[in-house]
């Protein structure tokens, strides 16, 4: 039986077993065929091209999901993230090149950052453990004139530094969401 999965307005045909979890940020695949490439993998974080654009949207850059029971990674309680997500990476992460990702352990939370009275600032966030690996975010709200929001996922109990591409916003609201209390 063949299934179809919509990804960013495109239709991707695949054999049985294709499962796409909601959102344009990451795609959980068991077997998929994209033009010219056969991928047999449990996870695939995408590659630049016609199906995934340039993978440069904020959600593309901050992709992560929790493998609670270990059925995907064989490591119960692990987190799967993109290979280049240095906000979450640490030396004990296991690289999985076929997935373009890594299996990591740790305690994570999503930061919810609202910058008021600005709409077009780019934010650079750096995990202090890896100062040479910044993450640049555009913000999730296109067309908003009174505020912008950024939603990176970070490792708890670690230090981060935030920079702006122009004058820093005069007013910020920052809180953590999506973490185990």
The residue-averaged pLDDT of 82-96 equals 92
Phi-psi region of 136 (alpha: psi -120 to 50; beta: other; left: phi over 0): beta
Per-residue pLDDT tens over the stretch 101-159: 899 999 999 999 999 987 688 999 999 999 999 999 988 876 666 888 999 999 999 99
Most confident range (mean pLDDT) of 14-23, 33-42, 54-63, 73-82 is 73-82
Half-sphere exposure of 170 (CA within 13 A, CB side): 3
| CA 144 to chain centroid | 22
Mean pLDDT of the chain: 74
Separation of alpha carbons 25 and 45, rounded Å: 8
Task: Give the integer Cα–Cα distance in Å for 165 and 181.
Answer: 33
**Beta-bridge partners for 171:** none
d(CA 137, CA 124) in angstroms, rounded, equals 6
For the record, the structure tokens of 171 come out as 């007013």
What digits encode the pLDDT tens for the residues 46-74? 565 665 566 566 767 788 888 899 988 88
**CB neighbours of residue 48 within 10 Å:** 11
**pTM score, two decimals?**
0.70
């Amino acid at each position: 039986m063949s299934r179809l999965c919509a990804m960013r307005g495109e239709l991707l045909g695949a054999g049985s077993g294709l499962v796409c979890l909601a959102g344009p940020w990451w795609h959980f695949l068991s077997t998929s065929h994209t033009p010219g490439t056969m991928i047999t993998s449990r996870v695939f974080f995408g590659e630049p091209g016609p199906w995934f654009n340039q993978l440069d949207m904020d959600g593309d850059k901050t992709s992560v999901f929790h493998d609670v029971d270990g059925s995907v990674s064989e490591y119960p309680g692990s987190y799967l993230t993109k290979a280049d997500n240095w906000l979450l990476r640490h030396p004990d992460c296991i690289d999985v090149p076929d997935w373009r990702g890594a299996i990591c352990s740790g305690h994570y939370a999503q930061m919810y950052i609202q910058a008021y009275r600005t709409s077009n600032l780019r934010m650079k966030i750096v995990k202090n453990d890896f100062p040479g690996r910044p993450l640049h975010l555009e913000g999730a709200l296109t067309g908003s004139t009174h505020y912008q929001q950024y939603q990176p996922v970070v490792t708890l109990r670690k230090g981060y530094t935030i920079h702006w591409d122009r004058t820093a916003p005069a007013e910020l609201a920052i809180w953590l969401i999506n973490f185990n209390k």
